[in-house]
Structure 1
Amino acid sequence: MPLHPEARAVIDATDALGGLVPAGEVSPARLRAAFAEVWRPSPNPEQVDSVVDRAIPGPAGAIPVRVYAPHGDGPFPTLVWYHGGGWVIGSLDENDATCRVLCNAVGMNVVSVDYRLAPEHRYPAAAEDAYAALNWVAAHGAEIGADGRIAVGGESAGGNLAAVVSLMARDHDGPPISLQLLAAPVMAPPSDRASYVDYGRGHFLDRESMEWFFQQYPRDPDDLNDPYLSPLAASHLRGLPAALVMTAEFDPLRDEGEEYAHRLLDAGVPVTLVRYEGQIHGFFALLVDQLSISAEAHARAAAALRAAFAQEAVR
């Protein structure tokens, strides 16, 4: 399918700014500031019952989280959400619109996690914070009106963290997870997969940016073989939660996300895999004001979350 005109407009605007991650030497701090300036929250956010910023205990100090509560009488199931940004950039703000939409559409709490960023905090910092947030919701969810049913989700590097905490929970007898919602997830380092070859330049997220992110997050090359950084490196995927995996046709990360979905299926894990034709990276959470396909993707995710929670008894 041809590139959607809305996606082309995003690419052109990003190219005019020098790319998602500008070429040449740039400090992570400057990049975060520039990113925050460009990618602002939606000017007309959907109204939920409440939005509260708070801190929860983490392995290296407090972890900021933003808790979205739906209208109605709880307790409610909870989605633990992880933002994207290559483990280096991004914050709670860029995914605010998506968190609000899902909160209302499902009737659930959303706990959006502001995990530590690299390179100041290299692997496994982000993964440890992500898992700590999951465990906090499981143990202390009553504080936010949670009923014990938990899903995890994220886009891009956030999708990576959602997959990683699912692996951690399986491996360490952690909290049961109803669904892992993986939108354009990072599953492995940059590669020669066809989507990297075909769309690694000139399609919003590019290979150069991903290579830069993979220079910031790992401590050393051995980390790239750790499934808690690269889920495709896992020896097996049996016993993981059901998954909804969503990819975009013109995304260099497309093939690794789809490969992970097929490996889950091969391991007996229930999976729904959806490719959004004509679309680019960031279609689910980052670019909701630029890409109308976001609404369709949100509706699909909400339906999957409702179905997953309906199968789980309140714990």
Structure 2
Amino acid sequence: MKTQLKAAVIRSAVKAGTRLRWLGKTAKHIVVQKSDIETGHGRIRLRIYQPPGEGPFPVVVYYHGGGWVIGDLVVYDPLCRDLCDHSNCIVVAVDYRLAPEHPFPAAPEDCLAALKWTYEHISLYGGQPNAIAVAGDSAGGNLAAVTALQARQCLPGVVKGQVLIYPVTDHYEPGTPSYEENAKGPVLTRKLMVWFWDTYLKGSPLLDAGQTRHPRATPLIRDDLDNLPPTLLLTAERDPLRDDGASYAERLQRHDNQVQYSLYAGACHGFVGLQGPKPDHNKAMGEISMWLGKLFAA
């Protein structure tokens, strides 16, 4: 009960803060449609952002951040509008189930189901089913990476690329230099990241007592990182997760995958989307859009 109350308080605060930072600055001309889909574990909501024009358009399936505990379609509406506007791609935002109400592996189950639905139905919205990338930030970057790995097996060839924005790729122990340097933030602290991980994994039907790593939770530990789609991976210098992202980029490259890695000097966790349309956010939107353009033109 205490964990649920803490989650509710943080969810409310993040929603209010993000709305304030984007007030009057969102891309209102983007058409947004809503859908509920069946996942096999219940229904989840999607928002489908459509750029102006005839199409058909490439597609980005976006998984929001928030430590698998917070974040939703409302919080990430400004970011998804902005990504759609800059990239000229349809963006499918996924409202996957959150912990503590739904511990691991509920989130990756929903994320894979949303990808499958997108592949099967996006042509009805003007999208190209043969031009789909997955993307996400923080815990959403974790879910994008895990979804790409799952899809390699059960939806081969569907994911053409992955955009991972300061992704979580391993459990918080042992601590990396970036966890030590940025233990007290700004924005994301080590203490908060520990709480996110503990909340996400507690009560998981897939984990034994004391187990903290799993192939669908901690992709950095996997040995089977070959034959993955091209990757754009962004990290922030002042972020506990900086080394998670850098290590995953290095491992992907070691497995002969195509990787573009960018470290945003001086930037903090959440600079993409959650802090409003500031210079680093705009720079990242430009880099992501250019990378997607090249990906889908290939």
TM-score, length basis structure 2? 0.92
Of the three residues 231, 241, 264, the one matched with 1:243 is: 231
Aligned partners of 1:49, 1:98: CA distance in 2, in Å? 12
Aligned identity (percent) is 40
**How many residues in Structure 1 have an aligned counterpart in Structure 2?**
288
Rounded Cα–Cα distance in structure 1 between residues aligned with 2:61 and 2:29:
17
More moved, 165-174 vs 191-200:
165-174
Match of 1:4 in 2: none
For 1:59, the equivalent position in structure 2 comes to 40
Q: Which residue of 2 aligns with 1:105?
A: 86
State how 1:27-106 maps to structure 2 within 5 Å: 27-40=6-19, 42-44=22-24, 45-106=26-87
Q: Which runs of 4+ in 1 moved over 6 A?
A: none
Amino acid corresponding to residue 154 of structure 1 in structure 2? G
Whole-angstrom distance in 2 between the partners of 1:29 and 1:47: 28
Aligned match of 1:160: 142
Query: What is the alpha-carbon distance in structure 2 between the residues aligned to residue 173 and residue 280 of structure 1?
Result: 35
- Is 1:190 the counterpart of 2:172? The answer is yes
- Taking the aligned partners of 1:82 and 1:30, their CA distance within structure 2 comes to 21
Partner of 1:295: 282
Residue 175 of structure 1: how far off its partner (Å) = 4.8
Please state how far the C-alpha of 1:215 moved relative to its aligned partner.
Answer: 1.1
Is contact 1:183–1:246 with CA below 8 Å preserved after alignment? yes
Aligned-pair CA distance for 1:30: 2.9
Q: Secondary structure of 1:39's match?
A: helix
Greater strand content: 2
Match of 1:258 in 2: 246
Contact map agreement 1:223 1:229 (CA 8 A) in 2 = no
The 3-state SS of whatever aligns with 1:225 is coil
**Matches of 1:187 and 1:68 in 2, distance apart?**
28
> How far does residue 178 in structure 1 lie from its aligned partner after superposition?
1.6
Question: Gaps (5+ residues) in structure 2?
Answer: none
- RMSD between superposed Cα atoms in Å: 1.9
Show the counterpart of 1:177. 159
1:181 partner SS:
strand
Partner of 1:119: 100
Aligned with 1:233 (options 221, 226, 231): 221
Post-superposition Cα deviations, 1:61-105, rounded to whole Å, max 9, x if no partner, equal 211011100010022111000110000001112222221122122
Q: How far did residue 223 of structure 1 move?
A: 5.6
Q: Does 1:200 align with 2:183?
A: yes
Q: What are the Cα deviations for residues 273-309 of structure 1, in whole angstroms up to 9, with x where unaligned?
A: 00000111011121124x3210000000000011111
Q: Which deviations, in whole Å up to 9, do the C-alpha atoms of 1:26-50 show, x marking residues without a partner?
A: 5322332233233226222113441
Displacement, 1:174?
Answer: 3.8
Opposite residue 244 of structure 1, the aligned amino acid is L
Name structure 1 gaps, 5 residues minimum: 1-23
Contact kept? 2:60, 2:135, Cα under 8 Å: yes
Match of 1:283 in 2: 271
The 1-side partners of 2:222 and 2:13 are apart by 35
TM-score, L = length of structure 1 = 0.87
Aligned residues of 1:138 and 1:175 also touching (Cα < 8 A): no
**What's 1:150 paired with?**
132
Q: Structure 1 174/135 Cα, relative in aligned 2: closer, same or farther at 3 Å?
A: farther
Following superposition of structure 1 onto structure 2, how do residues 134-149 of structure 1 map, counting pairs within 5 Å?
134-148=115-129, 149=131
Contact 1:188 1:232 in 2 (8 A): yes
CA contact (8 A) 2:168 2:245 kept: yes
Contact between 1:48 and 1:103, CA under 8 Å: does it hold in 2? no
